[in-house]
Structure 1
C-alpha cells in the first residue's frame, strides 16, 4: 500500500496543545469495526461498552525527562539531546541530537554546568548518536533535575504540570514518550472496571523512536520500525491466554499495548518474556490477540494510523477521522479518544 493512502486533512487548530483539566472528560468516538457505525460519546462512557467478558490491557511504562539541553565543549554551541533508549553498555544511551551535523565521535556535551557530561561515541544508522555519560551520583536523580519531558514537536505550549504527560498507572521508567491513550484513564475509571469484574492486565513497552520517526517511503512495506523494549510477565500471559480460551475480548489500551501483544502472540498464544520488538502492523496483517482498541487520533501518514486501519479497515478509519475533524475533536497526544470494538 502507498503512504498517501493514509493521509487526511487536519486543521492545525485541532491539534491539542494541553490536556483537559479532568482526564476522563475527553470526547470519545466509538467505531464499530465491522459495520463502520460511528457514535459520539465521552470517555467516561467507556464502561458502557465493556463487559466482564472483556480484558483490558494497559502499558505501565513511565516517561523519563528525556530532553536535555547542553552546550558543546570548547565552542559553547547549544545542543538539544533526546534520550531514546539505554544501550547494553553501562551509562550509554541512543539519542536524537539537534543540531547534529558537527557532533562527531569524541565530542563532549556539557549539561548543568558539568553535573552531567556526554561523550559522543558514534553515529547511528538513523542519524542519532550513541552517547556515554559521566557524572557523580545517581544518573536518574541527575536526569530528574536537568531533564524535561520530551513532548512531541507539534505541542508548542509549555506543560505546567509534568505529571499530566504520565498515565495514572505509570510504574516502570524508560519511555521517551507517553502511551497517550492511557492518559484518559483515572483511578475512578479503573475502579469502575474492577467493580464490573473487568480484568485489567499490565504489560510493558518503553516507547522509543518508533513514535517520533516519520514514514519516508511511499511503499509502506519498505519502512523499518525502530526496536523498542517490551516485557510481558508469566502472570500477564497466563491471564490473557485463559481469557482467550474463554472467548473473552482483549481490549488493548493504545497502539503500544497492541504492538506488544501481537509481538508476543504470533502463534495465537501469548508467550511471556522480555526483549526488543520492531513489529510493524499495517493492512494485510491478521491480528492474533487484540480484538478491540482504545486509542487517540494519530498523525496523517503515521505507522499508528496504519495500525488502527488494520484493525478497523482503512475506509472506516478515514471516514471516522473525517467526521472527527468536522465535529472538531481534539487530536494527537493530549486530544480526544477513540474506541474501536
Structure 2
C-alpha cells in the first residue's frame, strides 16, 4: 500500500500507525548492502586474526596483549552484530519487534562502554610500564588484567541497564510509528552517562598519556646521552626501555584513533539528540564502528609479532603440534 505522497508503508495493514519505508532504488540498496557486507566481513576477519594470535601463542599472553584481545573481541562483535544491525535499521523498516530493537541497542551500548573501559585500562598499563617500570611486573600481572577486563565487561551490563531502564521495561515506548526502532535516554541519565563513559574516561586517558609522553621524552634523552661506554646490564635495560617506549607510541596511536572515532558519538549526545535514528546518528555510529576495522591495521603496521602470527595462521602452521610455543616476538 502507498500513501498519498507515493511512499510505501512498512505495515500496509496499519495504515494510520505504520512508518514509511526509506526511499531508495533497488540498485542503491544492492550497492549499499554489498559494501556494508564487505566491511562487516573485513572487521570480523581482521579482529579474528588478533584474537587467534593472542589466544594461541603462549608468548603473547602478556598483560598488554590481554587488553588488546579484549578490544579485539568487542571490535569483532561490532562486525558480527552491530554493524549489520545498524545498516538494516537505518535503510529498512524494523520488522523484528520492539523488544529485539531494545536488546540490539542495549548490546550496542554495552560494547561501546566496554571499549571505552578497555582504552582506560590500556592507558593505565602504559602509564605504569613507563612511569614505574620497576614495579610493573608485580603490579600489572596477567591474572589482574584478566580480572579487570572481566569486571569491565560485567559492570557495563547493570550500568547500561539503569541507563536504558525505561526502554527495557517499555519496549517501543518512544516509537512514533510501527516499523521504527528508537531509544531515548532521559536527560538525567544522559548527563550521568556522558560524565561516566566520556568525560571522566577521556580525562583519565589524556592525563595519563600526557604523563607517559613527558616521561618517555626524558627517558629517550637519557638513553641517547648514555649511548657510549655502557655496560652489558645497562644496555639490556635500555633495550627494555626502548621496547616499552615503542609499545607506548603504538598504543598512543591506537588511543588517538579511538578518540577521533568516539568523540563524534558523544558530541552528538551533548548536542541534545538522545535518540539514535537520524542520519547524523547513522553517520556518527559508522565513524565509531569503522574504528573496529582500523585497530588491527594499526597492529599490523607497528607490531612485528602480529605480522608473524598472521603468516602462521594463514599458512595453517598453527595446526602443527607445539605451534603455541613458537617464538614470534
- Report TM bin, short chain: under 0.3
Question: What TM-score do you get using the length of structure 2 for normalisation?
Answer: 0.28
Question: What TM-score do you get using the length of structure 1 for normalisation?
Answer: 0.27
Q: Which has the higher strand share?
A: 1
Larger Rg: 2
